[in-house]
Copies of this chain bind each other. A is one copy, B any other.
Amino acid sequence: MSARTRQEPRELLEAARTGDRSALARLISLVEQGGDVARDVGRLTFPLAGSAYAAGITGPTGSGKSTLTERLIAQAREEGSEVAILAVDPSSPFSGGAFLGDRVRMQSHATDHGVFIRSMATRGHLGGLALATPEAIRVLDAAGFPWVLVETVGVGQVEIEVAGAADTTLVVVPPGSGDAVQASKAGLLEAADIFVVNKADRPGAAETRRDLEFMLHLSAPDEGWTPPIISTVASTGEGIDDLWTAVASHRDFLAESGLLERRRTARLAEEVRGIVRHRLEDRALDRASGAEFDSLLNDVVDRRLDPYEAAAKLLEG
C-alpha cells in the first residue's frame, strides 16, 4: 500500500470533522471495505469517540421503522442536535441498494446539513456487520454527531447484535395477532430497552400491547429498568413526543445508575472477543484448505477417519 493511500484516512477524517459530508461517507465506505484501510480508520477514530449517544431501531419488515426513524430525526433536529443515521441491512451484501427506497423517503431531510444518512452493508469487513457497525458508529462519533440512530432491517441474530451496538435499543412491533410472540421468539424481548407499538391506529394494536405487557410481566426486570411500551403512529407523528421522552429517560437512567459505562465496557469486551474469534476463524480457514486438508478429507470420505479426528489432526498440524 502506498504512502498516499495510507495518508488518506487521516485527511478524510480531518475533513469530516469540519463538516465535509462526502469525506464522511468515504470513511464509512472504507470501514465497510475492511482490511488495512479500515484498520487505519479505526485506529484514528477510536481515541476521538465516546461522546455520541447511539439509539438502535429494530423490528420486522412492515413495522414502519423507517418512518419512525424519520420522526426521530425531526425530534433531534428540533432540539438543535445534529443526527447521523446508519441504516444496516444484514441480508444484503451490497450497500445502498436495499435502502434506496428509504433514502428517497428521507429526502425531507436531504437539504439539511445537520442530518447525515448512510446505509451500510459489509463487503470485506472481518466479522461482518456485527464488527463493522461499532466502527462506523465511532466514525460518526468522531465526526462530531451527538446522536447516532442505527436502523436495522429484519429480526435475526445478526440484526439483534447490530442493534446491540447502541446505548438504547428500540424494538418496533407492528400490531397484529402473534407479532409480539414472534418478536419474543426472535429474542427481541431481551434486546429491548423500549418497545414501540407502531401503526397503533390499526386493528390489533391493543392486543399486541397487551401481549407485550404480559410477556414483560413474565420476565424479571433487567437491572432496574422495565422497558416502557410506547404506542405511535409514525405516519401522523402521534406518540413521537412520548417516544423521544422515553429515549431521554432511558439515557438518564443509564447515566445515573452507572449502567451506561458498564454496558459500554461490556460491549467493548464483546467486541475484542469477536475480533479474536474472527482472527482465529481466519486461521482455521487457512488450515482447512490446501493439500493436508484434501488428504484428510479423502480419509473422511472413505470413512477411515471421522470429522472430529480430522479436525484434531488439522489443529495439531
Residue of A91, A156, A280, A315 ringed by the most chain B CB atoms within 10 A: A280
| B157 & A306 in contact (Cβ 8 Å cutoff) | no
CB pair B273–A296 under 8 Å, yes or no, is no
> Contact between B311 and A272 (Cβ–Cβ < 8 Å)?
yes
Can you list 15 contacts pairing A with B, beta carbon distance less than 8 Å?
A39-B308, A42-B306, A46-B307, A47-B306, A268-B300, A271-B307, A272-B293, A272-B296, A272-B300, A273-B284, A276-B287, A277-B281, A280-B280, A280-B283, A280-B315
Shortest C-beta distance, A6 to chain B (Å), equals 16
CA distance in complex: A136, B311 (Å): 19
A311–B46 Cα gap in the complex (Å)? 14
Are B288 and A284 neighbours in the complex by a CB distance under 8 Å?
no
> Does A4 sit within 8 A of B, measured CB to CB?
no
The answer to the question of A104 belonging to the interface, with a C-beta cut-off of 8 Å to chain B, is: no
Q: How many residues of A contact B (CB 8 A)?
A: 50
Evaluate contact between B303 and A50: CB separation under 8 angstroms.
yes
Which B residues are in CB contact (< 8 Å) with A307? 42, 46, 268, 271-272, 275
Judge whether A217 is part of the interface by a CB distance below 8 angstroms. no
Distance A187 CA – B156 CA, assembled complex (angstroms): 12
A92 to B: closest C-beta gap in Å: 9
Instruction: Kindly report how many copies of this chain are found in the complex they form together.
Output: 2
A210 / chain B contacts, CB cutoff of 8 Å:
none
Q: Which residues of B are found within 8 Å of A288, using beta-carbon distances?
A: 269, 272-273, 276-277
A220 on the B face (CB < 8 A): no
B47–A303 touching, CB < 8 Å: yes
Question: Which residues of chain B come closer than 8 Å to A46, judged between CB atoms?
Answer: 303, 306-307
Q: Taking the nearest CB of chain B, how far is it from the CB of A199, in angstroms?
A: 16
